[in-house]
Amino acid sequence: MSTSEAQASTVQDSVAEVWYLKDVKYGLKDNKQTFKVITQNFNGPCSFIAICASLSSWPTGGQGMDLNPVFTSPTAFRPGGAGGGELKLFQQVGIKLVHGWLVDPDSQESKALDRAPDYDSAASLIAEVDHLTNGRFVLPEEENPFVTAAEAAGSSSRSAEPIQPVASSSSSTPPVSSSLSQDQQDKIADAIAVRDFLDHTQSQLTYHGLFQLASTLESNELVALFRNSHLSVLLKVDEPEGAALYTLVTDQVFLREPSVVWEKLEDVDGGWSTFVDSHFLRANPAGGDFAGQTAEDALMAMEMLEQQNRVEAGIEPSDQALARQLQAEEEYLARREQEAYLRRQQRLQEAKSSGKHKKEKPEKKKSKDCIVM
């Protein structure tokens, strides 16, 4: 690396370590005080933000954490690192760490997840079955000879029958089940159920998990929520309609939006989420309500709205502005599709890597929002 490249890298690192502070009001009823909230820039660090926003700083939080949620309890984690130092950190500072990535005990995946109860063991099972089937298990759905009965019928509903491997329609590929023992076939059936659960819970949040969080958390208690490979501050508020869950908004794109303080969790994918202010009243940000979107998507949506406003105000020629707006919309849609594809490929790659490096320290699991190992 040349001297100029090294200097440029140092400057970039310095910029990436600047985290801006936002003033928000927090407290019960009329006893609200002004607090500083650390906003998130570039690729993190959400773990550092979650802890700082709740209590105090942690100098190594920006490098990521090794967390491994258990699918049967909102407070259970099994970190792969030696000694579980990540969990001890939260325990020592008195911050409860929770997640909502829970399997419904009445669902058909529940029994399989009893045998693969956390993310790492689920990924290891998928990797083991992929090896058992000579690399034919971890494949794109259209090429995969192992699908659930509901998937084979083209239905998104759960089948009441036990999950069984379905052989590929290709006559050139002999059924794998013909050369496997009953125990191996049972393991494949478990892996299919586990894969189905992971495919349907890519946001790492389920409705059963939302219900458990709303019913078990104490009111007005700040906790750290693990969701979508991201850590954020979660708060339960008792409202006339019942308990409501809110996450603290720390995306830097909303640094100068004083009315955007909390995001209400209404569903598992953010489609019904809304922003509220420090009084938990619906926010009216200048650029519109972009709840449920990432900071990058919200910024792009705001730019598209500003472009449209410039056209309506006659600031730019309509033809040129329209072309820019259409281009922005195409890029926005393409980006969403690419992100969905990359998330699936990353999960498949993690499953394969887990099988190859079971005895090694787990690698960092990266997301576009933050760094969580």
Mean pLDDT for the stretch of residues 80-108:
83
State the pLDDT at residue 181: 85
Q: Find where tokens 């954490």 sit.
A: 65
State the pLDDT at residue 354: 57
State the pLDDT at residue 159: 40
The pLDDT of residue 164 is above 60: no
Q: Is position 127 within any domain?
A: yes
Which phi and psi (to 5°) does residue 60 adopt? Answer: -100, 5
Q: Is position 131 within any domain?
A: yes
Q: What's the CA dihedral at 370, 251, 309, 269 to 10 degrees?
A: 70
Question: What are the pLDDT digits (tens) for 289-315?
Answer: 555 555 556 666 666 666 666 666 665
In this prediction, residue 18 has a pLDDT band, given cuts at 50, 70 and 90, of: confident
Question: What are the pLDDT digits (tens) for 185-240?
Answer: 899 999 999 999 999 999 999 999 999 999 999 999 899 999 988 889 999 999 98
Question: What are the pLDDT digits (tens) for 122-163?
Answer: 999 999 998 888 887 866 555 555 654 444 434 333 343 444
Q: Is position 290 within any domain?
A: no
The pLDDT of residue 175 is above 80: no
State the pLDDT at residue 346: 67
Look up the domain containing 147 and give its range: 110-200
State the pLDDT at residue 20: 80
State the pLDDT at residue 300: 64
More confident residue, 89 or 292: 89
Bridge pairing between strands 365-366 and 371-372: antiparallel
Q: Is position 129 within any domain?
A: yes
CA dist 271 → 215, 290, 293 (Å): 22, 10, 9
Q: Is position 15 within any domain?
A: no
State the pLDDT at residue 241: 87
For the chain, the domain total comes to: 1
More confident residue, 176 or 106: 106
Q: What is the mean pLDDT of the chain?
A: 73
The pLDDT of residue 287 is above 70: no
Q: Is position 142 within any domain?
A: yes
In this prediction, residue 91 has a pLDDT band, given cuts at 50, 70 and 90, of: confident
State the pLDDT at residue 158: 38
In this prediction, residue 72 has a pLDDT band, given cuts at 50, 70 and 90, of: very high
State the pLDDT at residue 137: 82
Mean pLDDT for the stretch of residues 91-115:
92
Residue 352: its H or E element: helix 318-356
- Encode 142-184 in three state secondary structure: HHCCCCCHHHHCCCCCCCCCCCCCCCCCCCCCCCHHHHCCHHH
Q: Is position 255 within any domain?
A: no
Strands (E), 1-137: 21-26, 33-38, 97-99
Question: What are the pLDDT digits (tens) for 31-52?
Answer: 787 887 777 765 555 666 666 6
Mean pLDDT for the stretch of residues 268-278:
85
Q: Is position 126 within any domain?
A: yes
In this prediction, residue 167 has a pLDDT band, given cuts at 50, 70 and 90, of: very low
